[in-house]
Amino acid sequence: MKVLIVGGGGREHALAWKCASSSRVHQVFVAPGNAGTAAEPKVRNVGVAADDIDGLLRFAIDEDIDLTIVGPEGPLVAGIVDRFCAADRRCFGPSAKAARLEGSKAFTKDFLNRHRIPTASFATFTAANFDDGYVRAQRLPLVVKADGLAAGKGVVICETHESALSTARAMLGGSFGAAGNTIVIEEFLQGEEVSFIVVASDQQVIALATSQDHKRRDDGDKGPNTGGMGAYSPAPIVTPEQHLRIMREVIEPTLEGLQTDGNPYRGFLYAGLMIAADGTPNVLEFNCRFGDPETQPILMRLQSDLVDLCEAALDGTLGEAEVRWDPRVALGVVMAAGGYPDAYRKGDPITGLEAAAALPGKVFHAGTRIDGTRTVTAGGRVLCAVGLGDTVSAAQLQAYNLVHAIHWNLVQYRLDIGYRAIKCKEPVS
Ligand code: AMP
């Protein structure tokens, strides 16, 4: 069969690599892909942008693609699945209506409240009803969020009322474009963050292996927020009891709520959770797709066929599907371009990729492209080097051996990915 992966980041490289390993698949296309997907056996890049839904649909029809898997949120929120379904093309992901769980934070907060799913207390404002008094009456810190998609930048944690007020006014004034026409102001939650990702099909659900990422740029979880500087799976904080609570208190009521509201969900569903000291799994956000960089270590551990899993979800037979995992730990270290997450360098030649390919583990590409005979940087997060090991420390060592084999001008990466898991006792699930 032929599979099309939409997107061009590290998540999509991992999805393409995993689909290509299926004995049922003879060709994987990635639109637009990167230098890593271009070099993968059975995989070919296609020059169609991830947000060009017309172009993607035309390609899927012309090439008679059997299954399309959508990586990024943009095309999902814009309705790619609805368009493919209307043309009778199998496309794995939520409809535009269900993807509002990621596309609108105000929608999601209201949804969580109505269905009694734990989350931070909040209020929603537009420029017309913004209330200084509300902000001044809240305990600090406060979290100010743009309602719409803002490329991971629309959340600001404010330590003073003045900064909360000025952040809110800037968002409402257009600093994030239309994404900030509505804002959510919410309570700051304490705890430990966990990514919980499932494959869902209406109310049938299979939880994927747990994971945790490091969002801050610098060691010790300091510095500015980024799209993610590394991730590992499993997350030792998610004990079997915690797993059960997350399923019962978050995932099941969410899928049930979406169905009762008339927006049944099919696709990867990612819950960003803050686990409170008493174990309450508070929802910080939902993503309507697989996480990046969590996908890379999670798929390194997946032993079952990903294509079978997506097809079972599309066929409504997820309840009968079985998923097998490598019991080892997978840990991914993101290598980023100089300057990231602010304005970053592009076009720096990358050396050492061949040497790294001969080592154990796997280097997934994100922001890379081929320039003549060289591979050069082309994005903020450039590579994700993933190691496997019987312990977190062993996986970490393997990942950093890959990292140390690779170089480019002003490359930056954290030296402590996985330190929280190492501090915890070694994982059991
Ligand atoms: P979001 O896109 O809503 O997940 O927010 C991005 C990041 O901001 C999260 O991964 C958290 O680290 C942080 N964050 C968001 N909301 C809160 C909150 N209510 N309390 C504490 N941290 C938060």
pLDDT at residue 152 is higher than 90: no
DSSP 29: E
Is residue 236 within 8 Å of residue 192, measured between CB atoms? no
Question: CA-to-CA distance for 6 and 3, rounded, in angstroms?
Answer: 10
Question: What is residue 428's predicted lDDT score, i.e. its pLDDT?
Answer: 45
Bridge partners for 375 per DSSP: 370
**Mean pLDDT (whole number) for 395-406:** 98
Residues 6+ apart with CB under 8 A from 70: 6, 7, 76, 80, 81, 91, 92, 93, 267, 289
168-177, 196-205, 288-297, 420-429: least confident range: 420-429
**Smallest CA separation from ligand 1 atom 6, residue:** 155
Buried b (16+ CB within 10 A) or exposed e, 145-182: bbbbbbeeebbbebeeeebbbebbebbbeeebeebbbb
Give the binding-site residues of ligand 1, using a 6 Å CB cut-off: 120, 143, 145, 155, 186-189, 193, 215, 272, 284-285
Tokens of 240: 């079997």
Q: Is 265 helix (H, G, I), strand (E, B) or coil?
A: coil
**Mean pLDDT (whole number) for 378-407:** 98
Quick one: what percent of the chain has pLDDT higher than 90?
A: 92
pLDDT band at 348 (very low <50, low <70, confident <90, very high): very high
Distance 200 CA to ligand 1 centre (A): 24
Distance 131 CA to ligand 1 centre (A): 22
For the four alpha carbons of 385, 391, 392 and 394, in that order, the dihedral sign comes to negative
On average, the pLDDT of the chain sits at 95
Strands 212-213 and 230-233: antiparallel
Q: Is 239 helix (H, G, I), strand (E, B) or coil?
A: coil
Question: What is residue 427's predicted lDDT score, i.e. its pLDDT?
Answer: 47
Question: What is residue 149's predicted lDDT score, i.e. its pLDDT?
Answer: 87
Question: CA-to-CA distance for 174 and 63, rounded, in angstroms?
Answer: 41
Question: CA-to-CA distance for 110 and 107, rounded, in angstroms?
Answer: 5
Is residue 75 within 8 Å of residue 91, measured between CB atoms? no
Question: What is residue 425's predicted lDDT score, i.e. its pLDDT?
Answer: 55
Task: Establish whether the linkage from the previous residue to 32 is cis, with ω within 30° of 0.
Answer: yes
Measure the CA angle with vertex 264, ends 235 and 100; round to 5°: 70
Bridge partners for 211 per DSSP: 195
Distance 298 CA to ligand 1 centre (A): 22
**Mean pLDDT (whole number) for 7-16:** 98
**Comparing 150 with 397, which gets the higher pLDDT?**
397
Question: CA-to-CA distance for 402 and 407, rounded, in angstroms?
Answer: 10
Q: Which of 109, 119, 138, 157 to mutate to test the pocket of ligand 1 (most atoms within 8 A of CB)?
A: 157
